Amino acid sequence: MNAVVAEARQWLGTPYVHQASVRGAGCDCLGLVRGIWRALHGAEPQVMPRYTPDWDEPQGAEVLWAAARRHLRPVDDQVMAPGQVLLFRMREDAVAKHLGVVAAVGAHPRFIHAYTRHGVLESPLSDPWVRRIAARFEFERG
């Protein structure tokens, strides 16, 4: 099994807590990706600034996308594969502000994400979710 997926599955059931990143205690979607980073690479590449749930929507700033480009490798030109990080735009006119990890591809694609009021779960990567994908990345191999 892919190491990223294996680590993400360790977080299943973690409650949703905005700005947190503690497996079993609480995290948000970014906290999940941060926790996977720590498991694979050790220390996080930057100190995480405070952020609001609206992710700079009023300003239209793509803060999360810019951070993903700094610390992850874009793979938009590759076939979707387990372990890739998905960046979602929840509305067509909004900034991209949700993250998940591809857990399975093929006939029944799935992804793992921390979702408000649900915590970390593995969900079908259904057409409505696929349409929201703004970019795909992968962790650098270390």
d(CA 54, CA 81): 29
* pLDDT band of 55, cuts 50, 70, 90: low
DSSP single-letter state for residue 139: P
* pLDDT band of 47, cuts 50, 70, 90: confident
* pLDDT band of 76, cuts 50, 70, 90: confident
CA–CA distances in Å: residue 46 to residues 2, 33, 34, 41, 69? 25, 13, 10, 13, 13
CA–CA distances in Å: residue 34 to residues 60, 100, 121? 23, 11, 16
CB distance 69 to 96 below 8 Å: no
Q: In this predicted model, what pLDDT tens digit does every residue of 11-43 receive, in sequence order? A: 999 999 999 999 999 999 999 999 999 999 999
Structural domain 3-138, CATH architecture: Alpha-Beta Complex (3.90)
Does 142 have pLDDT greater than 60? no
Domain-wise residue ranges, the chain: 3-138
| pLDDT value of residue 89 | 94
pTM, rounded to two decimals = 0.93
Q: CB count, 10 Å around CB of 99?
A: 23
Torsion angles phi and psi, residue 111, rounded to 5: -145, 160
| pLDDT value of residue 51 | 78
CB distance 58 to 125 below 8 Å: no
Please give the full DSSP string across 60-84, using - where no structure is assigned: T--HHHHHHHHHSEE-TTS---TTP
**Residue with structure tokens 């100190």?**
47
Q: In this predicted model, what pLDDT tens digit does every residue of 83-121 receive, in sequence order? A: 999 999 998 888 999 999 999 999 999 999 999 999 999
| pLDDT value of residue 92 | 86
